[in-house]
Amino acid sequence: MSWPPAIPCILQRYRPPGVGQPKGALDAAGRRALREKSTLRSVLREGYGDGAVRTKLRHVPDLVELDRDHPGFRDPVYRARRNHIAELALAYKSGDPLPNVPYTAEEQGVWRTALEHLAPMHQTRACAEYLAGYPKLGFTAGAIPSFTEVNARLAPLTGFRLEPVAGLVTPRQFMERLADRVFLATQYMRHHSAPLYTPEPDVVHELVGHGPLLADPTFAELNRLFGEVTLRADEVLVEKLIRLYWYALEFGVYGKPGDYRVVGAGLLSSFGELGRFAESANLRPFDIDVIAETPFDPTDYQGVLFVAESSERIVRDLRAFLTAM
């Protein structure tokens, strides 16, 4: 079965102002929900269940809220699985051993499908820094690596490490951790019915999209600078910073017609958007001042992308803006 390339990869790691509310700490109801879920751990680990189990799962409160058009919205086992992985992230404290997610055979199959479709497109679309960084992290289609395994390869290269997050966080929360070379990332897998689509950042996006450029010293340092500036920024500046991060490090493009290359993790992890952005998006010249004032929509393919002459231009302009703050 093939999946339509027109389905968007919607990235909602951080919400622009006015889009939703950030997740908070667990309240009493949330803690009760976790206790209920503890009786269903075997199902959550294996990712399947019979009819009776599915009926029970429908009555377990959600930690993770899914929109009605989410591929997994009507799948109680998937929702329970998402809640379990969120539970692991919520229980994690920075500095503790990273929680291990034993991915199911079904989730491994989704990973394999995504990587097999993306790999040939990376060869013609990804920037040189991405292509150099990818093999350093040891990714293969055969197995989803744990954050511990990725960090063992990533930290010696640039000092960055992944830490788990349960779901959406604010732009400030996300970027402030970059100052410490910590990249907040999700561990859940997209729904098996749509292996080439995710309505929010999943483990494919985090590892395949961001990982290789976090392994590049130049792009890793840009991430750190975003965090450093955020620590002393007011809310107006934070809004400008997240727009710059979005249009450069999530959806950055350089080159010329017929030979565009991508530095943006959002494009590099989206089979559909990577294959059609050159024809479907309004491609504008890369201009830091314009980008900082341009809102973005995280709920669809990007209607506007900013194209630089080279990756060096993207790095130079971002660094100049950030160091001047």
For the annotated catalytic residues, the residue numbers are 205, 210, 250, 269
SS3 call for 283: strand
Reading across the β-sheet that carries 282-285, which strands appear in turn?
A: 259-262, 253-256, 304-308, 282-285
* Exposure string for 259-285, b = 16+ CB within 10 A, e = fewer: ebbbbbbbbbbbbbbbbebbeebebee
Closest CA to 273 of 209, 215, 178: 209
192 burial class (0-12, 13-18, 19+ CB within 10 angstroms)?
Answer: middle
Asked if 253 and 262 touch (Cβ cutoff 8 Å), the reply is yes
Q: What is the CA radius of gyration of the chain?
A: 19
Separation between Cα atoms, residue 26 and residue 21, nearest integer Å:
15
Separation between Cα atoms, residue 308 and residue 48, nearest integer Å:
46
SS3 call for 161: strand
Assigned token pair, 16: 């622009």
User: Directed axis angle between helix 271-280 and helix 105-125, to 10°?
Assistant: 30
Assigned token pair, 184: 């907040």
Cβ-based neighbour number of residue 115 at 10 Å = 19
Residue the block writes with tokens 């009493």? 28
Cβ-based neighbour number of residue 242 at 10 Å = 24
Tell me which H or E stretch contains 256: strand 253-256
